[in-house]
Amino acid sequence: MMSEVEVETIGLAVGTDAQPRAATASPRQVLAIVSVGICLANLDLFIVNVGLPNIAQEFRGASLEDLSWILNGYAIAYAALLVFFGRLAERHSRNLSFLLGVALFTAASAACALAPNVEFLVAARIAQAAGAALMTPTSIGLLLASFPPEQRPGAVRTWTAIGGLAAALGPLAGGVLVTFDWRWIFIVNVPIGVVALIIGWLKLPEVPGHDVPRPSFWAALQVTSGIGALTFAIVKANDWGWSSRGVVLGFAVAAVSLAAFAWHCLRSKNPFVDPALFAVRPFTGASLVMAPYSAAFGAMLLSVALWDQTVWGWSALQTGLAIAPGPLLVPFTSLLFAGRLIARFGAAAVVSAGILSFAGALAIWATCMGPEANVLAAVVGMMFTGIGVGLTFPTLMGVGAGALPPSSFATGSGVINMIRQAAMAIGVAIFVAILATPVSMADRIAAFQRGWWIMIAITMAAFVPNYLFIRRKIDR
């Protein structure tokens, strides 16, 4: 889920100063139409995690490593394409770009539902990510262009709350739909997307683009291949061996691709990511805290769905009900408490509390989860993750983007979100590598517990940049 700061700053990337021409929808109708985009993207974040064990049952020849790419393919593509499409959309009509994103996401959802194997499903999920990456900046751009300046903050809060509600309903909706067939978690997107396309085509105002430099396709390809190769190497390390040719090649491709991406950013006149952003200490701190925290978050999402269904034998519906308190508490914590706590104690203290809350949830699972179902531990752990995420993610977005000049708001928020999505993919890969292929239930339980302790260590590593870059800035 995205914070208010993030959606406001992304909106600046797509021309909030443009005036709609020949608008046939009121601002509130525009809000209703573009909210479909954030609902579709947020629903899929949790629905797919709940449905993963059921997908594994149908594709019996697929390993956990293969199945993890259903999550990671989406995260990696979304991470790289959000910045690329956000900047590319500045050049074109926002309403047509939004509709293109909805159309792509809808068609890709249909393809996911028809997938005959894991490879096809992963490819369709990447197409879904491309649609989501196009919908996000264009939807908020349309929203901010349609409302007068004094009403934009309220519109953004409503848009954010709708997205948060969709994320909160995701586990429950996924549990219900998977009860019929896992393909329904993708089929449900199709009629919603078609209706949004028809109404959007008839009603959305035209918001023209600007004459701005085109973002580098090669830079987007470099960062995508780098993160993808790194994730692949981590996932395959246990299966092939850390010194195997394929794993070493994966790490080599990752190193070369990411080095080439860094070289582009440092040398290009039109860098994909402006290196000057990292001269701002709070922005650097927010980025460095976001990376380990998001890695642990991605691993958590995968682990809890797998544990509930493969260790305790819960149904997808039971799993969805147990997960739901976590995402439900994210917007509640963010909107009602985070701002007040920041005003009283400072951003660094709030981030620290979020880190401790999230790590505490993982510690509960690592110490209390066993072969016998423990509903209290499962639900309380999810509640602590929701509180932790609600305190941390929006605060980091506020610290990072808020420290930048207005001209860099959009790029900065996009970069932090790119880091978040990429780190989630790497976190999933690390947890998959830790699980490996246990031969007994005792081995499986021990692997999960080991994975949670490792994720605690990764989460706690976020304290270092929080202290070095954020605490000093806020306290002085």
What is the percentage of the chain residues whose pLDDT exceeds 90? 37
Read off the pLDDT band of 77 (50, 70, 90): confident
> Can you give the pLDDT at residue 118?
93
> In this model, does residue 24 exceed pLDDT 80?
no
pLDDT of residue 5: 45
Residues 75 and 206 in one domain: yes
> What would the mean pLDDT of 126-140 be, rounded to a whole number?
86
Tell me what pLDDT residue 314 has: 93
In a domain, 263, yes or no: no
Question: Within this chain, do residues 40 and 185 fall inside the same structural domain, yes or no?
Answer: yes
pLDDT of residue 254 exceeding 70, the answer is yes
Q: Among 106-110, 308-312, 399-403, whose mean pLDDT is lowest? A: 399-403
Mark whether 176 and 289 lie in a shared domain.
no
Confidence of residue 84 (pLDDT cuts 50, 70, 90): confident
Residue at 203 is within a domain: yes
Q: Is the same domain home to 209 and 356?
A: no
Question: In the prediction, which pLDDT does 328 show?
Answer: 86
In a domain, 27, yes or no: yes
pLDDT of residue 394: 83
pLDDT tens digits, one per residue of 178-232:
888 999 999 999 999 999 899 888 888 877 666 667 778 898 889 889 988 998 8
Q: How confident is the model at residue 164 (pLDDT cuts 50, 70, 90)?
A: low
Return the pLDDT at 472: 60
Output the pLDDT for position 12: 42
What mean pLDDT is predicted for residues 95-112?
93
Residue 249 lies in a domain: no
Provide the domain limits for residue 325. Answer: 278-476
Same structural domain, 207 and 334: no
- Residue 418 domain-assigned? yes
> Does residue 155 sit within a domain?
yes
Q: What's the mean pLDDT in 117-131?
A: 94
Share the mean pLDDT of the chain.
84
For residue 116, pLDDT beyond 90 = yes
272: in domain: no
The total domain count for the chain is 2
Domain boundary among 164, 196, 215: 215
Single out the residue in 215, 246, 269 at which a domain terminates.
Answer: 215
Both 144 and 50 in one domain: the answer is yes
Q: Say if 54 falls within a structural domain.
A: yes
| Same domain (yes/no): 10, 151 | yes
Query: Are residue 39 and residue 168 in the same domain, yes or no?
Result: yes
> DSSP label at 244?
S
**pLDDT value of residue 465:** 95
Question: Of 158-162, 232-236, 458-462, which has the strongest mean pLDDT?
Answer: 458-462
Residues 88 and 205 grouped into a single domain: yes
Is the pLDDT at 8 greater than 60, yes or no? Answer: no
Examine the fold and report which residue of 215, 241, 259 is the final residue of a domain before the chain moves on. Answer: 215
pLDDT at 243 over 50: yes
* Chain segment 391-435, per-residue pLDDT in tens: 998 888 888 877 877 666 666 777 887 888 889 889 999 998 898
Q: What is the CATH number of the domain that holds 184?
A: 1.20.1250.20
Residue 419 and residue 340 share a domain: yes
Per-residue pLDDT, 475? 43
Highest averaged pLDDT of the listed ranges 6-15, 61-70, 382-391, 433-442: 382-391
Residues 204, 300, single domain; the answer is no
Same domain, 68 and 210: yes
